[in-house]
A and B are shown apart, each in its own frame.
Chain A
Amino acid sequence: TLKESGPVLVKPTETLTLTCTVSGFSLSDARMGVSWIRQPPGKALEWLAHIFSNDESSYSTSLKSRLTISRDTSRSQVVLIMTDMDPVDTATYYCARIFRGFDIWGQGTTVTISS
């Protein structure tokens, strides 16, 4: 399973830190990786960032300058940091495991950007 955690409300210009805690598999498993994906209300899914089992990472082209993904294998956690938050970043943020597609998703955490 995967479970997201983080703040519900963030002010504009602040930095968002989200944590994905995984269980039932290892972040070091070479067959798998973990991505962050978001979905604004009523809109489509948007991929944000991915971390591989070898600790390499990949980012959305449009958001790359604002994103950092990292992992703590000992805690089975993947962390996403997103800077300079704006109201348009209001969304449900999901973490998901990639293994033959995104086969396991967290329940999502809704983040609202508002002053």
Chain B
Amino acid sequence: EIVLTQSPGILSLSPGERATLSCRASQSVAGAYLAWYQQKPGQAPRLLIYGTSSRAAGIPDRFSGSGSGTDFTLTINRLEPEDFAVYYCQQYGSSPLFTFGPGTKVDI
């Protein structure tokens, strides 16, 4: 059964800086079906990246995803105040069908 681990747990940065978030899978993610979500307090998650590196509709290009196999990265260039949130990675296709990581909080 695939398990996702995210690091760091908390990332303390300032507006304008770059954020690099890591997601590691316990086994290779099938078909690179790896997605990233942003969640703010009291809100449902929002899809940022799907298929490892494709931005969802309306997502600014300061968000980018990369990786393959078991190691994936979400990069946020030039942090904006609205980017401070919790970020989750998620795989699709391995057993179980879907798995979420524990999340990384990007804090000011």
Chain A residues lying within 8 Å of B97, measured Cβ to Cβ, are 47, 50, 58
Interface size bracket, B side = 20 to 34
- Contact of B35 with A101 in the complex, beta carbons under 8 Å: yes
Chain B residues lying within 8 Å of A45, measured Cβ to Cβ, are 37, 39, 45, 88, 90, 100, 103
- Per a CB cutoff under 8 Å, which of B44, B90, B100, B102 touches A107? B44
Query: Could you tell me the distance between the alpha carbons of A94 and B100 in the complex, rounded to whole angstroms?
Result: 14
Chain A residues lying within 8 Å of B49, measured Cβ to Cβ, are 101
> A35-B98, A61-B96 known; A103 and B47 CB under 8 Å?
yes
**B1 on interface, CB distance cutoff 8 Å:** yes
- Contact of B1 with A100 in the complex, beta carbons under 8 Å: no
Query: Could you tell me the distance between the alpha carbons of A96 and B35 in the complex, rounded to whole angstroms?
Result: 14
Interface size bracket, A side = 20 to 34
Chain A residue at smallest Cβ distance from B49: A101
Min CB distance B63 to A, Å, is 13
**B56 on interface, CB distance cutoff 8 Å:** yes
Q: Is the interface of A mostly helix, strand, loop or mixed?
A: strand
- Contact of A101 with B100 in the complex, beta carbons under 8 Å: no
Chain A residue at smallest Cβ distance from B50: A101
Interface residues of B in 86-108 (CB under 8 A from A): 88, 90, 92, 95-103
> A35-B98, A46-B100, A47-B99 known; A100 and B56 CB under 8 Å?
yes
Shortest Cβ-Cβ A-B pairs, 8 listed: A101-B50, A101-B35, A105-B44, A47-B98, A58-B97, A45-B100, A100-B50, A101-B47
Q: Can you offer 17 A-B residue contacts whose CB atoms are under 8 A?
A: A44-B100, A44-B101, A45-B100, A47-B99, A50-B97, A58-B96, A58-B97, A61-B1, A61-B96, A94-B44, A94-B45, A96-B44, A101-B50, A102-B47, A103-B56, A105-B44, A105-B45
A residues near B, CB below 8 A? Answer: 35, 37, 44-47, 50, 58-61, 94, 96, 98, 100-103, 105-108
